Amino acid sequence: MKQTSCRSFDAAIIGSGFAGSILAGILSRHGMRVALIDVARHPRFAIGESSTPIADMLLRRLGERYAMSELVALSTWGFWQQSHPELAGGRKRGFTYFQHHADEPFSEQRVGENSLWVAASKSDDVADTHWYRPDVDQFLFQLAVDAGATDLSGHVVESIEQPTGQTTRLQCSRSDATHPDAITLNADWLIDASGQSGVLARMRGCQDQVAELKTKSFASFAHFRGVRRMSDWLETRGIESSIPFDADDAAQHHLLSNGWMWMLRMNNGITSVGMTSPAPVSLDWSSYPTICDLMSDAVPVEPPGVVSTGRRLQRYFDPVVGDRQLMLPTAALTLDPLHSTGIAHALAGVDRVARIVMEANDSARSEQLKAYRVSFRQEVQLLDRLVATAYATMSDFPCFTIACMLYFAAAIRCEERYQQGEDPEALWNADDAEFVRLVDWASQELMDVRKRGSSLDQRLREQLKPWNSAGLMDPAVHNRYAYTAATK
């Protein structure tokens, strides 16, 4: 017989991925009663693994601000290896890009002709990381439970109602159909951390604003064992492979005629491999001899099999659903894996939402929600512009490189602002109107094939000067950027 119990919480969080779990940990340590609901149980497969300097900086700040030293420990490769070697992950010194042509092995006549290396950290010790999400998410989930969050793993949300102005009522049932018990939760706050599921927006019938986005892409991905190293492949052919860092200690991008592939190497033998394309895509590299070599012994091992999204990746919702019903940025938006922005966006959202919830200041709330909405919107618009421009230029490597430089300028300026003690309203310098205007202008020039004249790089280099402390777009370095990282 079905039994229903009823419990009250200060906050109910839907989704115990890393973002929901960190938020649950913060609120629980603050003394709040938190329900952490997830349809799945840890450990479980998750995609979205490559962190960045901004993401690591935000992780460190969350750890310091909310006295969670465990987060600080995961914020650099060196510290992670000392503190939690049991959690699988990968060393990430930066970003590498290789332009391939169908039926030809990768090659270049001169350094940087078809490749780009952008360092994000100056040494292995302070390097960024790839997160092996089954391990990392489970670890962060356990932190939340240890801090007092109520574990409602294996539960699915059946309905969301708001019978009074303040309280949200959730009906949840066990996702294991053989178990009949149901639970009713009353919560002062409801936070959607369900990632791509966007449970709150979907159940409340919110409007998807995806038509506003220029980026349009589809993905196919899996975790593989046995992926060969690109640095070995390059070395055996006498192509420079490790300056300024090893090509595989990176978010590795392979540009193809119909999109791009990522390879993210973990220290447990797993490599995350995926492909993203403007049209529905299957994970097929058969026309690219170099990728065939890298993948010749590779076997997909999880989730099981290869995932193909089938439908457009992008979703875009207003993150403020109600006065006390909020979505984290990664629940309100899925954009694209290019530029690896999801982890940083989620972490910034955790901080913003934690502050709104913990302050619980009824008179200031409408201003706080407005600020949350504005910064999110600024970020989405800038990222969408940057990513769509990169896709539009993908078959023209010099122009694609320029499009990437815009992203790196945005990211580096954002890091610098944090390091100078600022608390920017938006990530990626999206709250700097002059910078946004520059990106809009450059994007228009790059998107229009007729305007991509040879002087575009010179004109952009000139215009970028106020934000270009890292020496981006310097022809003398031949696409090998060794020192872009703001120091950690």
Ligand X SMILES: Cc1cc2nc3c(=O)[nH]c(=O)nc-3n(C[C@H](O)[C@H](O)[C@H](O)COP(=O)(O)OP(=O)(O)OC[C@H]3O[C@@H](n4cnc5c(N)ncnc54)[C@H](O)[C@@H]3O)c2cc1C
Footprint on this chain of ligand X (rule: CB under 6 A): 14-20, 37-40, 46-50, 156-157, 193-197, 199, 219, 221, 274, 313, 328, 330, 334, 337, 340-343, 346
State the minimum distance, in angstroms, from the CB of residue 333 to ligand X. 9
Nearer to ligand X among residue 40 and residue 210 (C-beta): 40
Nearer to ligand X among residue 58 and residue 442 (C-beta): 58
Nearer to ligand X among residue 100 and residue 339 (C-beta): 339
Closest CA to 116 of 469, 397, 458, 445: 397
State the minimum distance, in angstroms, from the CB of residue 315 to ligand X. 10
State the minimum distance, in angstroms, from the CB of residue 306 to ligand X. 12
State the minimum distance, in angstroms, from the CB of residue 273 to ligand X. 11
| Burial bucket for residue 108 (CB in 10 Å: 0-12, 13-18, 19+) | middle
State the minimum distance, in angstroms, from the CB of residue 278 to ligand X. 14
Nearer to ligand X among residue 126 and residue 201 (C-beta): 201
For 30, phi and psi rounded to 5 degrees?
Answer: -80, 0
Nearer to ligand X among residue 199 and residue 281 (C-beta): 199
d(CA 22, CA 314): 24
State the minimum distance, in angstroms, from the CB of residue 100 to ligand X. 20
For 94-157, the DSSP string reads EEEEEE-BTTB----SSTTSSEEEEES-SSSTT-EEEE-HHHHHHHHHHHHHHTT-EEEETEEE
**In the 3-class helix/strand/coil scheme, how is 140-162 assigned residue by residue?**
HHHHHHHCCCEEEECEEEEEEEC
Nearer to ligand X among residue 55 and residue 402 (C-beta): 55
For 317-348, the DSSP string reads --SEEETTEEE-HHHHEE--STT--HHHHHHH
Nearer to ligand X among residue 58 and residue 460 (C-beta): 58
Peptide bond into 43 cis (omega under 30): yes
Nearer to ligand X among residue 16 and residue 121 (C-beta): 16
Residues facing 183 on adjacent strands: 5, 172
Structure tokens that stand for 433 in this block: 């109107």
Residues 6+ apart with CB under 8 A from 325: 162, 168, 189, 190, 191, 192, 200, 204
State the minimum distance, in angstroms, from the CB of residue 86 to ligand X. 21
Peptide bond into 244 cis (omega under 30): yes
- Confirm if 480 and 119 have CB atoms less than 8 A apart: no
State the minimum distance, in angstroms, from the CB of residue 228 to ligand X. 21
- Confirm if 411 and 56 have CB atoms less than 8 A apart: no
- Confirm if 185 and 167 have CB atoms less than 8 A apart: no
Nearer to ligand X among residue 158 and residue 359 (C-beta): 158
State the minimum distance, in angstroms, from the CB of residue 459 to ligand X. 31
18-29 and 342-359 helices, crossing angle to 10°: 30
Nearer to ligand X among residue 156 and residue 291 (C-beta): 156
State the minimum distance, in angstroms, from the CB of residue 22 to ligand X. 8
Alpha helices in 188-287 (DSSP H): 199-203, 230-236
State the minimum distance, in angstroms, from the CB of residue 20 to ligand X. 6
**How many other β-carbons are positioned within 10 Å of the β-carbon of residue 238?**
7
Nearer to ligand X among residue 350 and residue 436 (C-beta): 350
- Confirm if 189 and 12 have CB atoms less than 8 A apart: yes
Residues facing 206 on adjacent strands: none
Nearer to ligand X among residue 304 and residue 475 (C-beta): 304
> In whole angstroms, what separates CA 65 from the centre of its chain?
22
- Confirm if 145 and 152 have CB atoms less than 8 A apart: no
State the minimum distance, in angstroms, from the CB of residue 12 to ligand X. 11
Alpha-carbon distance values, 128 to 45, 53, 54 (Å): 21, 6, 10
